[in-house]
Amino acid sequence: MAGLVVAMDGPSGSGKSSVSRGVARALGLRYLDTGAMYRAMTWWMLREGVDLTDPAAIAARCGEPEVVSGTDPDGPTIHVDGVDVAGPIREADVTGAVSLVAAVPEVRARLVALQREIVGDGDIVVEGRDIGTVVCPDAAVKVYLTASPEARALRRSAEVAGSTVEAQREAMARRDTLDSTRKTDPLSMAEGAVELDTTDLTLDEVIAEVLRLVKERT
């Protein structure tokens, strides 16, 4: 029998990474951060000086970088052509450009294929925007995390040194719009997904709720 797949989707700051890692740890599963792969591709495009306002230019080069993701929830890793990019992919330049790169169908086709290869026989928690809809539509458990724009902006500004809640709220709203209105695999709730509003819950409460769902559905 194929192993368990937990698909975790939702907008930025809804808690996908922290919840996915907590669930994977509790159940002894692997963990895949697909957002980190889109960020890694963006980091490489910026380094190469590719014109990110030109989807054809992005499409023409997106087959070149080798993106390698580690799946240990206690220490996820990401390398591009052998370079450890875990730090640089969280910088503002990448965050500001990633939605442009993630909107290009050729980029998505390549990364979705890579993601399915990593998922393989399962035993994994996978987080992103299109996991329940596109990458793993047969996942046994699909979760769609949400939180109020205020809560999400507060959480992110606490993580990013020197940023204000207002600036984070605006940046996140911009990215949400781009990610949910693009033509290819936009952020949307999958059929059969359970929506979980994390605004008034602690991280441990959200993890406990997802663990309860997993138990119920497996």
Where does this chain bind ligand YYY (CB under 6 A)? 12, 34-36, 38-39, 98-99, 102, 128-130, 175, 179
- Range 90-118 burial, b when 16+ CB lie within 10 A, else e: eeeebbebbbbbbbbebbbebbbebbeeb
Contact present, 191 and 115 (Cβ < 8 Å): no
Query: Which of 67, 68, 50 is CA-nearest to residue 59?
Result: 50
Residue matched to tokens 């939605």? 99
Least distance (Å) from ligand YYY to the CB of residue 135? 7
Residue pair 30/89 in contact (Cβ under 8 Å)? The answer is no
Q: Stretches 9-17, 59-67, 102-110, 131-139: which one binds ligand ADP (CB under 6 A)?
A: 9-17
Given a contact cutoff of 8 angstroms between Cβ atoms, the answer to whether 144 and 195 are in contact is yes
* Minimal distance, residue 162 CB to ligand ADP, in Å: 16
Q: Does 18 bind ligand ADP (CB under 6 A)?
A: yes
Partner that binds at residue 179, options ligand ADP, ligand YYY, none, CB closer than 5 to 8 Å by kind: ligand YYY
Residue 148's binding partner out of ligand YYY, ligand ADP, none, with CB under 5 to 8 Å set by partner kind: none
Q: Does 129 bind ligand ADP (CB under 6 A)?
A: no
Q: With binding defined as CB under 6 A, does residue 121 bind ligand ADP?
A: no
| Shortest separation between residue 4's beta carbon and ligand YYY, angstroms | 19
Chain centroid, CA 23 distance in Å: 15
Q: What residues line the site for ligand ADP (CB under 6 A)?
A: 10, 12-18, 155, 159, 198, 201-203, 206
